[in-house]
Amino acid sequence: MLNISTNSVNNDVDISHFKSVKKAHNKKHYKHFNRLLITFGVIGIIILFLPWTQNITANGLVTTLTPDQRPQTIQSPIPGRIEKWYVREGDKVKKGDTLLFISEIKNEYFDPDLVERTEQQIEAKSSSVASYTEKVKALNNQIGALSKERQLKLEQAKNKVIQSTYKVTSDSIDLEAVKINLNIAERQFGAIEKLYEEGIKSLTDFETKKAKLQETRAKLISQENKLLGSKNQVINAKIELNKIGAEYAEKIAKAQSNKFTAQSSGFDAEAQVTKLENNFTNYSMRNDMYYIKAPQDGYISKAIKGGIGETFKAGEQIVGIMPSIYDVAIETYVNPIDLPLVHLGEEFRVQFDGWPAIVFSGWPNVSYGTYGAKVVAIERFISPNGKFRILLSPDQNDHTWPEAIRVGSGAKTIGLLEDVPIGFELWRKLNGFPPNYYQPEGNQKAKAVKK
């Protein structure tokens, strides 16, 4: 009886004695079902007001906290040929252990005694530098000796000029005396000549005075000639003085030229010594590079170049190594729309691949098998995959991360944001709104203090 008509049969006919009516009306299960619906409805309304932690999810990989702890490849700075391996893949090595030995493939380094020969060249050039230094010292001594000798010669020549000048003065005085004597002789001769003509003086006296006059005139000519000779001596002394200055200036200039040439040759030899020393150091360091060594403690992960006799270029990858001691971290990528919600120190939950976990993204405290993490770095530029890279480190206040995880393992990250009611979160999801934008408490306090 569906009772879909407006005319009720119950009012006109007694249907209580029918078996079907008795079976249907005597069951009370619909009352329990109604109570169950009411109970679920009340519980659903209560759940709408329960707190829900907004979050953003992303996939990531296990990496290391610092770059020097990440897997790396070892390269050779020089080209070469593999001669011998000292390790196998999976071996544990310490810093400085020899991994393999390589040989030279460039013909300019084939000489096995290249370092010793370069050292001999350095010694020879160093001796050449010392010789040039001694030559410069000898030329300096020579220049000093020539300078002193020039000074003495110039003083001697100056003294000779002064002496010649004094002699000119003396001869001039003597010439004046001779002139005076000549005047006296001429006056006496004139007087004697008159007296002789008058017959007062004899011929002998006359001839004596005449001879005296001639003698005085001869002395005058001789003294004038002597004076001219003295003047010529002064001129010669001055010429000699100038000649000495020019001669020693030429000698000193030549010695200085030889000195500068020796200095130039010495500097050139020093430059060659420096170049040879540089080559010696380079050759010595190159010999050390024939042994490829481990840069840090770790495990040999993969031999990229294998075999014996295989050649490689400079900077080409040879072998891979994984550091034995490292601090794990998570490298994950968030969408650009979620980037403003991520801050340094932001809390994340991490689920590692291979570790069982029961995850309630909105109730992190109820989840099982997830581990705490905090943001330590946020990339400033978008990655090639169109997302922003962030780096997570273990949360020291949470459970310790598993020791068995390896670098490169997968992980799923959940960024914890604000706590909101579940009803609000459902409304946000239905409308496609992003999580609430917020600022960490530290930034808000800093802005308040600034204001």
Query: Does residue 109 form part of some domain?
Result: no
CB atoms within 10 A of CB 350: 24
**Residue 356 above 80 pLDDT?**
no
Please check whether residues 57 and 152 belong to one and the same domain: no
Please check whether residues 258 and 180 belong to one and the same domain: yes
Residue among 312, 285, 305, 319 nearest 79 (CA): 312
**Residue 447 above 60 pLDDT?**
no
Mention every residue, 6+ apart, whose C-beta is less than 8 A from residue 188.
209, 212, 213
Please check whether residues 282 and 217 belong to one and the same domain: yes
Query: Does residue 14 form part of some domain?
Result: yes
**Residue 366 above 70 pLDDT?**
no
Lowest mean pLDDT among 14-28, 108-122, 192-206, 218-232: 14-28
Q: How many domains does one find in the chain?
A: 4
CB atoms within 10 A of CB 324: 13
The pLDDT value given to residue 219: 80
**Residue 368 above 80 pLDDT?**
no
Among residues 238, 261, 288, the one where a domain terminates is 288
pTM: 0.58
Please check whether residues 25 and 57 belong to one and the same domain: no
Query: Does residue 7 form part of some domain?
Result: yes
> Are 165 and 234 spatial neighbours (Cβ–Cβ below 8 Å)?
yes
Query: Does residue 450 form part of some domain?
Result: no
Please check whether residues 210 and 335 belong to one and the same domain: no
Tell me what the pLDDT averaged over the chain comes to. 81
As beta bridge partners, residue 323 has 298
Instruction: Say which residue the tokens 């544990």 belong to.
Output: 92
Instruction: Write out the two tokens for 125.
Output: 């050039």
Please check whether residues 307 and 331 belong to one and the same domain: no
**Residue 188 above 70 pLDDT?**
yes
Distance, in Å, from the CA atom of 417 to the CA atom of 377, rounded to the nearest integer, reads 17
Distance, in Å, from the CA atom of 117 to the CA atom of 113, rounded to the nearest integer, reads 6
**Residue 403 above 70 pLDDT?**
yes
**Residue 93 above 90 pLDDT?**
yes
CB atoms within 10 A of CB 332: 26
Residue 305: CATH number of its domain: 2.40.50.100
Please check whether residues 366 and 425 belong to one and the same domain: yes
CB atoms within 10 A of CB 237: 18
Q: How confident is the model at residue 157 (pLDDT cuts 50, 70, 90)?
A: confident
pLDDT in tens, 30-88: 667 777 888 888 888 887 777 767 777 888 899 988 888 888 999 988 999 999 999 99
> Are 369 and 353 spatial neighbours (Cβ–Cβ below 8 Å)?
no
Q: What is the edge-to-edge ordering of all strands in the sheet holding 298-303?
A: 72-75, 317-323, 298-303, 92-93
Please check whether residues 182 and 277 belong to one and the same domain: yes
pLDDT in tens, 145-155: 888 888 888 88
Please check whether residues 92 and 212 belong to one and the same domain: no
Query: Does residue 139 form part of some domain?
Result: yes
CB atoms within 10 A of CB 336: 10
Please check whether residues 37 and 147 belong to one and the same domain: no
DSSP string, 253-276: HHHHHHHHHHHHHHHHHHHHHHHH
Query: Does residue 259 form part of some domain?
Result: yes
Q: How confident is the model at residue 97 (pLDDT cuts 50, 70, 90)?
A: very high
Instruction: Say which residue the tokens 């593999």 belong to.
Output: 82
Residue 58: CATH number of its domain: 2.40.30.170
> Are 360 and 369 spatial neighbours (Cβ–Cβ below 8 Å)?
no
Query: Does residue 18 form part of some domain?
Result: yes
Please check whether residues 282 and 312 belong to one and the same domain: no
Query: Does residue 280 form part of some domain?
Result: yes
Output the CA–CA distances (angstroms, integers) from residue 74 to 53, 130, 288, 317, 414, in the order listed. 46, 45, 15, 6, 36
Residue 273: CATH number of its domain: 1.10.287.620
Domain that holds residue 312: 72-104+290-323
**Residue 176 above 90 pLDDT?**
no
Tell me the range of 340-349, 355-364, 416-425 where mean pLDDT is highest. Answer: 340-349
Residue among 350, 428, 409, 440 nearest 63 (CA): 409
Amino acid, single-letter form, for residue 421: P
Please check whether residues 333 and 432 belong to one and the same domain: yes
